Amino acid sequence: MFRPPSTFAGFGLGLRKEHYRDFLDTDVPVDFVEVISENFMVDGGQPRHILRQVRERHPVALHGVSMSIGSADGLQRDYLRRLRALADEIQPLFVSDHLSWSRTGRFNSHDLLPLPYTEEALDLVCRNIDMAQDALGRAMLFENPSSYISFVDSPMTEWDFLDAMSRRTGCGLLLDINNIYVSARNHGFDAQAFLRGIPADRVRQVHLAGHAETADILIDTHDQPVCSDVWSLYAQAMSLLGPVTTMIERDDAIPPLADLLGELATARDIVRRQESLREAA
């Protein structure tokens, strides 16, 4: 049985093309960077070269979007082989993906589709996580997704599912605060209950991002700054969690790096305040 990876208390940003030059030419004040694994699971060329250069300056977390851990068909060996090769070279802080599925048969939706939280799904996800961790030779982190539909036959809560999944497989958790907020609003559950329900000792990383609001649903778009409600939820989460990494996730409408560093400074301030409160208590 794997055990969740070691803790790392730091603040990082996603490495996106728009900021490659910043990260190559300047000393960006982050404790780590996170990259989308699939963008670098290529045979060669400039992307891998840039990642190697950035790795010389910063620890790197590999965050995937295509493992499809919830696929009823199991996992793809070629995918795992490529991810293993990348991880062996980069020696990442974490290798993570999402509690979701993308692929059925030969079809790949390239979206993070939701799972019903059933015993059948739990058994399947745990089998797939075991296979992935064995193939990678390391424990992974799995992230709670945003979702836009809830299921009639979904007897477990998401946090109970994450808890059971983590304990059965030894994986760690990546807690996306925005996703909790989006799903709680979309499905009418209590975000506080989610935070209280997840096993805090299994969380290794936190994501913060922005979302879009439509007339009757929130959509996880990663194209806007973190909103005030999500910052509040983050503060509550950090009062419950131990040392974890925090990362600002922006995938669209990428702003200047200074804007993202500003959001990261907000996260640092919140954590400092929570630490002060903890010490005072």
Partner 1 sequence: MNLADWQADFRAWLTLASHEASQRLDPRGSTGLAVYQNNYRAQLVGVLEASYPLVHTWLGAELFRHAAIAHIDNRPPRSWTLDAYGADFERTLHDLLPANPDVHELAWIEWSLSEAFVSTDSPTLTQEQLAEIDWDHARLELAPSLRQRRATTNAEAIWSALYDGSPPPEAAMLDVAGGIIVWRRDFTCELKQIDAIEFAALNLLRDDDRFHVLCDFLVEHLGEEAGVSRAGELLAHWIGAGIVTGVRVSSGLEYA
Tell me how far, at minimum, the Cβ of 150 lies from partner 1, in Å: 8
Q: Which is nearer to partner 1, 32 or 40 (CB)?
A: 40
Among 219, 227, 240, 261, binds partner 1 (CB under 8 A): 219
Separation between Cα atoms, residue 59 and residue 55, nearest integer Å: 6
**Residue selected from 69, 95, 124, 136 as contacting partner 1 according to rule CB under 8 A:** 124
Residue type, 14: G
- Least Å from the CB of residue 97 to partner 1: 12
Beta strand spans in the chain (E) = 11-14, 32-36, 60-63, 95-98, 101-104, 107-113, 141-143, 172-176, 203-208, 212-213, 218-219, 245-248
Quick one: which of 25, 27, 45, 188 contacts partner 1 (CB under 8 A)?
Answer: 45
Candidates 27, 43, 56, 279; binder of partner 1 (CB under 8 A) is 43
State the CB neighbour count (10 A cutoff) for residue 130. 16
Tokens of 87: 């991880």
Contact pattern from residue 135 through residue 154 relative to partner 1, giving x for each residue in contact according to CB under 8 A and a dash for the rest:
------------xxxxxxx-
Exposure letters 89-125 (e unless 16+ CB within 10 A, then b): ebebbbbbbbbbbbbeeeeeeeebbbbbbeeebbebb
Q: Does 76 bind partner 1 (CB under 8 A)?
A: yes
- The contact set with partner 1 (CB under 8 A) reads 38-39, 41-49, 66, 70-73, 76, 78-79, 101, 103-111, 113, 115-116, 118, 120-121, 124, 147-153, 186, 216-217, 219
